Amino acid sequence: MHKDIATPLRTKEILGKYGFSFKKSLGQNFLIDPNILRNITEFAGLSKDTAAIEIGPGIGALTEHLARTSGKVVAFEIDQRLIPILGDTLSPYDNVKIINEDVLEADVKAIIDEEFAGYEDIMVVANLPYYVTTPIILKLLMERLPIRGICVMLQKEVGARISAKPGTKEYGSLSIAIQYYTEAEMVMTVPKTVFMPQPNVDSAVIRLTKREKPPVDVIDEDFFFTVTRSSFAQRRKTILNNLTSQLPSGKEKKEYILEALSNSGVEPTRRGETLSIKEFGALSDALYPHFN
């Protein structure tokens, strides 16, 4: 067994050897606690039959645990300076491939087809850079990749929004977008002390398990997401006010909005945060004919 990368001492050693300095703009915070990494791989439910996709491997702390517990790992690293470091720290593992690319620009589907032939079970497991957490998760879900799910470390507050239930202050269009595709649960909170450098916020691990099919069947997905986003535009406003001000020519079509609310059994005085995904589905289908 090789010495864990994720200890304060070993991390300092590696950074010192390469004269590496953290780039704030890339949201680099490296994990220095092997127990937490073991927990993440456990929550992800990995085995040698699983292929893992990682985003932002840093110096390879989590990558190493993924390499030990899964069949193959492909990691996307945007920072060119980390490529030689990863080549060194991960040299004991022959089942890891590092791709020096921004995952937001990458054709992940093509890479999966090319790298993971023969793997039925694919999981995304990562300690995500905080500044791009949401766009990365939404990209992975909207591209309908053949993955079982996503198990990632992110900012605790974003984790709370993703897994929020209707009627809570965290619940919003992000909760709906992600819960439309997955079942979301926050499985662990993580103190800032286990990172180098320490971030200003606490973190959480969230597990998203892809649904066989969405919890609601809608006429048009894009329009459904437009309606949910519009309903939360100003949280203190009623759903009627938000839809009237946000939907294209909503003011002229106010009577149609009222009619759609009535047909879908939603009181116009309610706020967006009180509606379930199913209610949003019914509402967007009732509005659809008048706005398309």
Residues 254-278 have pLDDT tens digits of 999 999 999 999 999 999 999 999 9
Say what the pLDDT of residue 220 is. 97
**Mean pLDDT, range 86-109, rounded to an integer:** 97
77 is an annotated ligand-binding site residue? yes
Closest CA to 271 of 197, 185, 166, 191: 166
The annotation status of 292 as a binding-site residue, yes or no, is no
**272 labelled as ligand-binding?**
no
User: pLDDT band for position 78 (50/70/90)?
Assistant: very high
Instruction: Specify the pLDDT at position 21.
Output: 79
pLDDT digits (tens, 9 = 90+) for 141-188: 999 999 999 999 999 999 999 999 999 999 999 999 999 999 999 999
Beta sheet of 121-127, edge-to-edge order: 96-99, 72-76, 50-55, 121-127, 149-155, 203-210, 182-190
- pLDDT the model gives residue 1: 58
Q: Is 100 within any annotated ligand binding site? A: no
pTM of the complete model? 0.92
pLDDT for position 199: 85
CATH superfamily, domain at 221-291: rRNA adenine dimethylase, C-terminal domain (1.10.8.100)
Query: Is 8-210 a domain of CATH 3.40.50.150?
Result: yes
Give dist(CA 230, CA 234) in Å, integer.
8
56 in a labelled binding site:
yes
| Model pLDDT, residue 27 | 63
261 marked as binding residue: no
Tell me: pLDDT of 24 over 90: no
Sequence ranges of the domains in the chain: 8-210, 221-291
The residue-averaged pLDDT of 30-37 equals 91
